[in-house]
Structure 1
Amino acid sequence: MRHHLRNRIGDPRTTILMTSWQAPNTLGRKLVEKQSPVRIFGEGFEVLTGFSGYADRVGLVEFVQVMEKKPQRTFIVHDEAESSANLAKTLGDELGITGIELPEAEQIFSL
């Protein structure tokens, strides 16, 4: 993951979407908290603005709502099954998103 981040974090066409809680003192937490710069493999990178998937359900729905091309397949990964199901229902019912998956632990998908 760090290789992907290092290669894309500076590209303005890239969105880094944090979809779950991030442990303290990790790169993920630093990104969620918008600490800037962050260090990846010893190199500093500026962090642009964004929102947290954990704390901003409304922001996630709005993010998908304005997409010109809607995703063909969406994976909702959250530690609370009810929250995942509610988000899936909103995306499906209100935005017409299909192909929503609610993976179980260690479930494997072919992409």
Structure 2
Amino acid sequence: MNQAGLAECIVRAAQACHPYIQPVLYQSILTGGSTLFPRFAERLQRELRPLVPEEYQVKIISQENPILGVWRGGSVLASSPDFESMCVTKSEYEEMGSARCRRRFFH
């Protein structure tokens, strides 16, 4: 099997960002419900360290109750005063289709 592992995917995602933000990204790698395997954070740290520039700190952040992480994030987002401006309504989509999504999210 010749596929990128999680550590490689994290590095690729960080490298796709502007260089000035990369050190910050490596300091706040979040793990969630699918990472409940024993010592997952330690393993990810060990796999990431050789792939990340030495001058960058690598920090894996595991939630206390990772199963609820996505729900909490969605709850925070839905409670945001800007939430409605981030949404595309059914009627907007029916009227304009995917062009509405592209305009809302990518411009």
Q: TM-score, normalised by structure 2?
A: 0.33
Structure number having the greater helix percentage: 2
Q: TM-score, normalised by structure 1?
A: 0.32
**Which protein has the larger Cα radius of gyration, Structure 1 or Structure 2?**
2
Higher relative contact order (CA 8 A, sep 6+): 2
